[in-house]
Amino acid sequence: KGKKLAKSSSKEIKQAAVLGAGIMGGGIAYQSAVKGTPTVMKDIRQEALQLGLDEAAKILNKGMERGKVNARTLASTLNNIVPTLEYSTLKDADVVIEAVVENPKVKAAVLQETEQTVSKDAIICSNTSTISINSLAKSLQHPERFCGMHFFNPVHRMPLVEIIRGEKTSDETIAAVVAYALKMGKTPIVVNDCPGFLVNRVLFPYFAGFSQLLLDGADFVAVDKVMEKIFGWPMGPAYLIDVVGLDTADHAAGVMADGIPERMQRIANDPVQSLYQAGRLGQKNGKGFYNFG
Ligand code: NAD
């Protein structure tokens, strides 16, 4: 379906830009660049840009060691990533993907500034995990050129991209973003705007079931072992929550409980929330369900 939609695309993405050079922005810029699209990577901090570039170089060097990347790809990918602190560098971008901090006010300001800088037919996307695409669209004068483009961490390894259609998003915008996701080597799915989009709507009932099991006295290591060894999943729920971040998981659970209370209720004394409130954020600070060395 994605390929069919992409074929009818009116707009080819020849130049891209990513706002935010953090975990996600850096990963998206790398993935866009490695598949041949020159990509501006903008942040407000020079250190963040350097970290984004270092991360791209690390992935490429690992690929070289494994014989999967050659010297030419390494050079052309790094050449394709254009780090910047200036908005004006976005003016030639066919698509701009916003991946700044998960704060609606910051995102709204960034989207407005982006719209003032880019050409009138440039497409604007947000990589938000939890903020409504329809509400973000309100900060734009031309919401028809806007949609969600939600990648998963780590971007270079996770195939799926959720493309979220807002009420005002045009078919042309969706077609062009589907084509761009395919060019990036990803598997796009087009979904409507709702709390949790599609993936978190599937994932969070599973996390809620896991939390209930813990409250019933289950051992999280045993649950992980069952999911890994018997179900064959790459990791169990405790480890996955550590990778996602307990702060992020708690926030997303709250967004869904607020948005669709008839489907997703907050769990009283949720162990994920208790651990988060005790300062255990998961892999990002070295301690979550597990301790990381
Ligand atoms: P992060 O904190 O690693 O990176 C955010 C970056 O944005 C920082 O480098 C910061 O300096 C920069 N920034 C802040 N304000 C800016 C501005 N005005 N202009 C340009 N850059 C600015 O965060 P992250 O984990 O990469 O998350 C970014 C977005 O991606 C969030 O919306 C988040 O919900 C979403 N997301 C995160 C994940 C994940 O697993 N981390 C997965 C999917 C989506």
All structural domains of the chain, each given as residue ranges with its CATH number in brackets, are: 2-192 (3.40.50.720), 201-278 (1.10.1040.50)
Q: How far apart are the first and last CA of the chain?
A: 44
Does 24 sit in the ligand 1 pocket, CB within 6 Å? yes
Return the residue whose CA atom lies nearest to atom 9 of ligand 1: 22
Among 142, 150, 156, 251, the active-site one is 150
Contacts of residue 3, Cβ cutoff 8 Å, sequence gap at least 6: 182
pLDDT of residue 267: 95
- From first to last of its 293 residues, the chain has per-residue pLDDT tens of 455 555 554 589 999 999 999 999 999 999 999 999 999 999 999 999 999 999 999 999 999 999 999 999 999 999 999 999 999 999 999 999 999 999 999 999 999 999 999 999 999 999 999 999 999 999 999 999 999 999 999 999 999 999 999 999 999 999 999 999 999 999 999 999 999 999 999 999 999 999 999 999 999 999 999 999 999 999 999 999 999 999 999 999 999 999 999 999 999 999 999 999 999 999 999 999 999 98
Q: Which amino acid is at 68?
A: K
**Cα–Cα distance between 74 and 185 in angstroms, integer?**
17
The tokens describing 166, both together, are 């807002």
**Cα–Cα distance between 33 and 16 in angstroms, integer?**
9
**Cα–Cα distance between 56 and 63 in angstroms, integer?**
11
Per the CB < 8 A criterion, the answer to whether 173 and 157 are in contact is no
**The 16-19 sheet, strands edge to edge:** 81-84, 39-42, 16-19, 95-98, 123-126, 146-150, 160-165, 187-192
Does 242 sit in the ligand 1 pocket, CB within 6 Å? no
Q: What is the DSSP string of 217-254?
A: T--HHHHHHIIIIIS--SS-HHHHHHHH-HHHHHHHHH
Find the helix or strand (DSSP H, E) in which 84 lies: strand 81-84
Q: How far is the CA of 159 from the centre of ligand 1 (A)?
A: 19
Return the residue whose CA atom lies nearest to atom 44 of ligand 1: 129
Q: Which residue in 226, 263, 227, 220 sits closest to 242, CA to CA?
A: 220
* Interface predicted TM-score of the whole assembly (ipTM), two decimals: 0.98
Does 153 sit in the ligand 1 pocket, CB within 6 Å? yes
Does 230 sit in the ligand 1 pocket, CB within 6 Å? no
Q: Which amino acid is at 153?
A: N
Q: To 5 degrees, how large is the angle CA 5–CA 10–CA 13?
A: 95
- Give CA separation, 226 vs 136, 209, 210, 218, in Å: 40, 14, 12, 12
Does 42 sit in the ligand 1 pocket, CB within 6 Å? yes
User: Candidates 89, 100, 155: which one to mutate for ligand 1, based on the most atoms within 8 Å of Cβ?
Assistant: 100
Does 89 sit in the ligand 1 pocket, CB within 6 Å? no
Q: How far is the CA of 24 from the centre of ligand 1 (A)?
A: 6
Atom number of ligand 1 nearest to Cα 130:
34
pLDDT of residue 11: 84
Residue with tokens 């695409």: 133
Is 251 part of the annotated catalytic residue set? no
Per the CB < 8 A criterion, the answer to whether 116 and 142 are in contact is no
Per the CB < 8 A criterion, the answer to whether 95 and 180 are in contact is yes
Helix, strand or coil, per DSSP, at residue 216: coil
User: Candidates 18, 23, 90: which one to mutate for ligand 1, based on the most atoms within 8 Å of Cβ?
Assistant: 23
**Cα–Cα distance between 157 and 155 in angstroms, integer?**
5
Return the residue whose CA atom lies nearest to atom 15 of ligand 1: 100
Helix, strand or coil, per DSSP, at residue 187: strand
